[in-house]
Amino acid sequence: MGGTSEHSRWRRELAERYATGYRKLPGVRAVLLSGSVARGIADRYSDIELMVFWEGAPRIRSRRRAAETGGGTGATYHPYDRDNDEWADDVLVCGVEIQVSHRTVSRTERWLADVLEGAAPDLVKQDLIALIRAAVVLHGNDLVAGWRQRTDRYPEELALAMVRAHLDFRSAWQRRKLLDRGELLPLYEDLTATVRNVLLVLLGVNRIWFPHLGFKWTHRLAAEFPLAPADLPARLDAVLATPAATAVPVADALIGDTLTLVAEHLPEAGAAEELALLWQERPIWDAAPAALDRPT
């Protein structure tokens, strides 16, 4: 993704200094720098993201000790989040926000198995895999190297599951109806969902791990897909950032091209059927049916 930005350089230095508080704590198996700083694309708005992997559930006193050792102030220690399977800290170091995600090795192993062996198209679990693969390892190289080796291959079963899970597009007729009625809120909700689902489907087709739960870095991602509709980044922008009358036909064509690509490369996913539904018309009535004028 290009060279390292200056914003990434000094944030990484700050993260490495802060991470020293974890390295000697009992139970800490690995510490990773993740997010935009690890990818070298941080900007003036970026915070710093760390992941700490523990042998067992981290104790609050250990998290507090690590933050204090690393020079952290104003820390908030969040309780266990079942949905994300993590404990989280928000800490300030030299006034810069550091977000720390704490996870156990055993639960991380289970998530990997869910995706790699169970072909679960769970975006939260795939996001963790992408974070691990793109992170800078500050501690625990051997453990992380093993995880990366396991995830070098994107399972074919997962590619199919991802595509099937996100082949969820409205018909062109439905978008035209919303446009003609001036129903802009549901129309733009649909256009946003269209962009998300196109990206998710293409991730499956290209066997690429889902990289960010907030759908950041989509321009970079869209430009790097080996298999994608022509001019994908510009067309995604047009769907989201042009007047509705322009965005709707762009969305229709983009969905059609995406389904055609899926039908070619993953025919068992059912894209051909979805393509027929995309262009399926329904009647509209500018006047009462003629049959109503006939005498009974």
The CATH fold of domain 6-153: Beta Polymerase; domain 2 (3.30.460)
Taking alpha carbons only, the member of 198, 185, 173, 197 closest to residue 248 is 173
C-beta separation of 222 from 231 below 8 A: no
Give how far Cα 83 sits from Cα of 103, 131, 272, Å. 12, 17, 35
Cα(12)–Cα(163) distance, integer angstroms: 36
Rounded-to-10 torsion of CA 108, 110, 112, 115: -140
Separation between Cα atoms, residue 50 and residue 128, nearest integer Å:
12
Residues 6+ apart with CB under 8 A from 124: 83, 84, 213
Neighbours of 227 (CB within 10 A): 12
231: left (phi over 0), alpha (psi -120 to 50) or beta: left
Residue spans per domain, the chain: 6-153, 157-278
What gap in Å lies between CA 75 and CA 150, rounded to an integer?
35
Give CA–CA dist 124/190, Å, rounded. 22
Q: What is the DSSP string of 246-274?
A: HHHHHHHHHHHHHHHHHHHH-GGG-HHHH
Q: Which two tokens stand for residue 76?
A: 């908030």
> What does pTM read for this prediction?
0.92
Collapse the DSSP code of 145 into the 3-class scheme (helix H, G, I; strand E, B; otherwise coil) and give the result: helix
Q: Scan for tokens 């979805």, then name that residue.
A: 274
**pLDDT of the chain along its 296 residues, tens only?**
446 789 999 999 999 999 999 988 999 999 999 999 999 999 999 999 999 999 999 999 999 999 999 999 999 999 999 999 999 999 999 999 999 999 999 999 999 999 999 999 999 999 999 999 999 999 999 999 999 999 999 999 999 999 999 999 999 999 999 999 999 999 999 999 999 999 999 999 999 999 999 998 888 889 999 999 999 999 999 999 999 999 999 999 999 999 999 999 999 999 999 999 999 999 998 888 888 877 66
